[in-house]
Amino acid sequence: MGPVSVCFKCVSYLWHLVSYFLKRTSKKAIQYQPVCYVNAPLSTISRHRLNVVSRKFLVLDLDETLIHSHHDGLPAPPVHAGSAGGAVSANLAARADTQPPDFVLRVMIDQQPVRFSVHKRPHVDYFLSVVSKWYKLVVFTASMEVYGSSVADELDGQKGMLKRRFFRQHCTLDVSYSYSKDLRIVHSDMSSVILLDNSPSAYRNYKSNAIPIKSWFGDSSDTCLLNLLPFLDALRFVHDVRCILGRNTVQY
C-alpha cells in the first residue's frame, strides 16, 4: 500500500469521525431547542362549545409513557416483545440507562433501600404544562405507590397538576400477569375519560377511551408527546371521546 493510499484512508477516517460528532451535536441541539404549541385565542363559538361539554379527564401512565427508569442492585424487569418491541427495545433501554438521569429517587421497598435513576421523555414538562390547562390530569400507574408517587411528585414540581393518583393496588392482575386499569374509578362517565398508555393490556376493557403511545426507553429524538398536542387540543371539544377514539379499536 502506497503513501497516497494511506493518506487517503487517514483523511477518510478523520472525515467520518468529524461527521459523526457533528451529527451527534446537531441532534442534541435539536432536542433542546425551545418548543411552543401555538395556542390561538378561541372563537366565540369554541368558547361556547367548551362551556357546553364537560371538562374531561386525561389519565396518564408513567413508565415507558412519560418516563423510563432503572434501579440499582436489582434485576431489570423483562422486556416483552408484544409490548416493547423485543430486542430492539431492550437495546434502547440499555442505551438509556448509560445516560445521566433527570432525577434520582431513593425509596424503601420491602424494607430495602432502592435507588431509581429516572429519565424523562423528551418534552414531557412542556406537554404537562399545556394539557393541564385543557384537562383534569390523573396519574394511573401499575407501579408500586411508594415509587409512582415519588415520580409523580417530581413531574408535578409542586404545580398541583397531578393531584389525583392511582397505583398498582388499584389495578387488576390477570392470568397472564399483566395489569389492567379500571377507568371507572377515575370517573363514572366514560364519555369524558381518556387514557394515554403504552401498554395495550392496561386498556383492554376500555379500548374506546385509549390513546396508544409508543413505549419510550431513552430515544432523545422522540417527539410523540409533542405530536399528540393538536389531537388532544381538538378532543376536548367533543361531547363523547369514544366517538373519536373508538374508530381506532380495530388497530388494537
Catalytically annotated residues: 61, 63
Task: Please say whether the beta carbons of 60 and 66 come within 8 A.
Answer: yes
Q: Which amino acid is at 72?
A: D
- Supply angle C-alpha 173, 178, 179, rounded to 5: 55
Q: Please, which residues have CB within 8 angstroms of residue 139's CB and are 6 or more apart in sequence?
A: 59, 60, 62, 148, 152, 162, 164, 165, 166
227: burial class by Cβ within 10 Å (0-12, 13-18, 19+)? exposed
E strand or H helix that includes residue 244: helix 242-245
Q: State the cell numbers at 105.
A: 429517587
Q: Please, which residues have CB within 8 angstroms of residue 105's CB and are 6 or more apart in sequence?
A: 69, 115, 116, 118, 147, 150, 151, 154
CA distances 169 to 140, 147, 190, Å, are 11, 13, 21
